[in-house]
Amino acid sequence: MSASAWPADLLMRDFRDRKVLITGSSRGIGAAVARAFADLGARIVLHGRAETPALRDLAASIAASAMHQPAVVTGDFADSNATRRAVEQAIAQLGGLDILINNAGTMMGRHPAAGLAEATLDEIISLNAKSVVTAAQQAFPALRDSPVAAIVNTTSISARSGGSAGSLAYSGAKAFVSTATRSLATEWAGDGIRVNAVSPGTIDTDFHQRYSSPEKLAATAARIPQKRLGRAEDCVGAYLFLASPSLAGYITGQVIEVNGGALMP
C-alpha cells in the first residue's frame, strides 16, 4: 500500500458498515459529514427538522453513489420528545449505533440581550443545549453495546468568545455543549464511549446566509488569519478524526477548533 493511500484505507476499515446517526444533516456541515461517512462505507441515518427537498435530494444523491442506502429521520430538536423519537427510530433502522454526531442546531435569529424573551431563551437552549443531552441519553444503551462507540458534538467558536451581538442564548448554549462534552466523556469512559466535540468558526453555510449580512461576513473573513470563511467541507476531517477508533481511540473530552486561526487558545 502506498503511503498516500493509508488514511482512506484506514478510515474505510474504521467506518465500513458502522452505524452512524448524523443529526442536522439535511444541509451545511452535517450534510458534508454525512456524505463523508457514507463514502467511507458507513450505514448512515440522515436527520432534519422536517422532510425538506434538501433532505430528500441529499438522501437520493448519497444513495446513488454510496455502499449503503441512507435512512432518514425527522424531528424538531427543540422538542425533547421529538428528539428521543428521532434517535430511537434511527437506532431501530440501523439495528444499533456506533457513532452519534450531534450537530442539529441554529441561532434562531439575533436577539439583543436586553429584550431577549424568556420563551425565546428556552427554545434556543432546548434546541442547542438540551437536545445534545437528550440525544446522547437516548443513544447511550446502543452505544454501550458498540466496541467503537463515539459521540462527536458540535459546539461553536462563540462558546468561548461569547459570539457577536444578539447571540447570548446561542453562545451560552454552545458553551454548555463544550462542558457537557467533558462531563459525558468522564462519565461514559468506563462504558467504552468516547465523547468529543468540533468547534466551527465562521463557516459559510445557510446559517450565516440567514443571520449575518454580506458586509459582516466580509469583515469577519478579513480578521481571520487564513483570510477566508470556512466551508462545510473544512469541518469534515475533524469529525472523522474524532470518530475514528484508530486515530482517536485514546482521545476523549476534547474540543477541536476549526476556524482558520480566528481564535487560538
Under 8 Å between Cβ of 72 and 47: yes
Pairing outcome for strands 194-200 and 71-74:
unpaired
- Site for ligand NAP contains 106 (CB under 6 A): yes
- Site for ligand NAP contains 105 (CB under 6 A): yes
- Find the shortest distance in angstroms from Cβ 181 to ligand NAP: 13
Grid cell 466496541 is found at 147
For ligand NAP, the closer of residues 89 and 106 by Cβ is 106
Q: In the window 38-67, what residues touch ligand NAP (CB under 6 A)?
A: 48-50, 52, 54
- Site for ligand NAP contains 70 (CB under 6 A): no
- Site for ligand NAP contains 138 (CB under 6 A): no
Under 8 Å between Cβ of 190 and 149: no
Give the bridge partners for 255, in sequence order.
Answer: 197
Under 8 Å between Cβ of 228 and 203: no
Q: Find the binder of ligand NAP among 183, 206, 228, 261 (CB under 6 A).
A: 206
Grid cell 440581550 is found at 113
For ligand NAP, the closer of residues 199 and 244 by Cβ is 199
Pairing outcome for strands 99-102 and 19-22:
parallel
- Find the shortest distance in angstroms from Cβ 3 to ligand NAP: 33
Stretch near ligand NAP under the rule CB under 6 A, chosen from 8-16, 65-73, 150-158, 180-188: 150-158
Which residues are CB-contacts of 200 (< 8 A; sequence separation ≥ 6)? 29, 154, 156, 157, 230, 235, 258, 259
Q: Find the binder of ligand NAP among 104, 124, 142, 193 (CB under 6 A).
A: 104
Active site residue 250: no
Q: Is 60 helix (H, G, I), strand (E, B) or coil?
A: helix
Please choose, from the candidates 34, 42, 36, the residue with its C-alpha nearest in 3D space to the C-alpha of residue 18: 42
- Site for ligand NAP contains 156 (CB under 6 A): yes
Give the bridge partners for 150, in sequence order.
Answer: 99, 194
Stretch near ligand NAP under the rule CB under 6 A, chosen from 57-65, 102-110, 137-145, 188-196: 102-110
Give the bridge partners for 38, in sequence order.
Answer: none
- Site for ligand NAP contains 196 (CB under 6 A): no
- Find the shortest distance in angstroms from Cβ 205 to ligand NAP: 3
Q: For binding to ligand NAP (CB under 6 A), which residues are involved?
A: 24-30, 48-50, 52, 54, 76-78, 103-106, 127, 154, 156-157, 200, 202-203, 205-208
